[in-house]
Amino acid sequence: MLISLIVPCYNEEEAMPLFYREASRVAAAMKASHGADFEFIFVDDGSKDGTLRVARELHDADPRVRYVSFSRNFGKEAGIYAGLQAARGDYVATMDADLQDPPALLPEMLDALLTGDYDCAATRRTTRKGEPRLRSWFARLFYRIINKMSDTEIVDGARDFRLMSRRMVDAVLDMAEYNRFSKGIFSWVGFSTKWFDYENVERVAGQTKWNFWSLFKYSIEGIVGFSTTPLLVAAAAGVIFCVAAFIGILFVVVRALLFGDPTAGWPSLVCIILLCSGVQLFCLGIVGEYLAKTYLEVKHRPIYLTRETEQDRDARRGGKVPHA
135 and 267 part of one domain: no
Q: What is the structure's pLDDT at 310?
A: 84
171 and 252 part of one domain: no
Q: Give the model confidence (pLDDT) of 2-14 as tens digits.
A: 999 999 988 888 8
Assess contact for 166 and 126: CB atoms under 8 A.
Answer: no
Residue 137 falls inside a structural domain: yes
Q: What is the structure's pLDDT at 322?
A: 46
Residue 194 falls inside a structural domain: yes
198 and 251 part of one domain: no
Phi, psi of 296 (to 5 degrees): -70, -35
Residue 321 falls inside a structural domain: no
Least confident segment among 14-18, 214-218, 245-249, 306-310:
214-218
DSSP one-letter code for 39: E
Least confident segment among 189-193, 247-251, 262-266, 310-314:
262-266
Cα-to-chain-centroid distance, residue 30: 28
Instruction: Read off the pLDDT of each residue in 22-32 and give the average, rounded to a whole number.
Output: 91
- The SS3 call for residue 140 is helix
Assess contact for 63 and 286: CB atoms under 8 A.
Answer: no
Burial class (CB in 10 A: 0-12, 13-18, 19+), 32: exposed
193 and 245 part of one domain: no
212 and 83 part of one domain: yes
Residue 324 falls inside a structural domain: no
CATH for 128: 3.90.550.10
234 and 137 part of one domain: no
Assess contact for 103 and 26: CB atoms under 8 A.
Answer: yes
99-102 own/partner pairs: CB under 8 Å, 24+ apart:
99/15, 99/18, 99/19, 99/22, 99/201, 99/203, 99/204, 100/159, 100/200, 100/201, 100/202, 100/203, 101/159, 101/160, 101/161, 101/201, 102/198, 102/201
- Of the two residues 225 and 167, the one the predictor is more confident about is 167
Q: What is the structure's pLDDT at 240?
A: 75
pTM > 0.85: yes or no: no
| Tally of structural domains, the chain | 2
Residue 276 falls inside a structural domain: yes
Q: What is the structure's pLDDT at 93?
A: 92
Q: How confident is the model at residue 163 (pLDDT cuts 50, 70, 90)?
A: very high
In this model, does residue 324 exceed pLDDT 50?
A: no
Q: 289 lies in which domain range? A: 229-298
79 and 121 part of one domain: yes
Residue 89 falls inside a structural domain: yes
18 and 100 part of one domain: yes
In this model, does residue 60 exceed pLDDT 80?
A: yes
| Percent over 70 (pLDDT), the chain | 72
198 and 286 part of one domain: no
Residue 178 falls inside a structural domain: yes
Instruction: Read off the pLDDT of each residue in 165-186 and give the average, rounded to a whole number.
Output: 84
DSSP one-letter code for 99: S
Q: Which of 88, 101, 90, 91 is nearest to 8 (CA)?
A: 101
262 and 156 part of one domain: no
Q: Give the model confidence (pLDDT) of 206-231 as tens digits.
A: 555 555 566 666 666 766 666 666 76
Assess contact for 3 and 37: CB atoms under 8 A.
Answer: yes
Cα distance between residue 166 and residue 130, in whole Å: 35
Q: Give the model confidence (pLDDT) of 249-286 as tens digits.
A: 677 667 666 766 555 566 566 667 766 777 777 777 77
120 and 55 part of one domain: yes
23 and 169 part of one domain: yes
Q: How confident is the model at residue 127 (pLDDT cuts 50, 70, 90)?
A: low
What secondary structure does DSSP assign to 160-223, as a single string? EEEEEEHHHHHHHHH---SS--HHHHHHHT---EEEEEE-----SSS--S--HHHHHHHHHHHH
Residue 244 falls inside a structural domain: yes
Q: How confident is the model at residue 92 (pLDDT cuts 50, 70, 90)?
A: very high
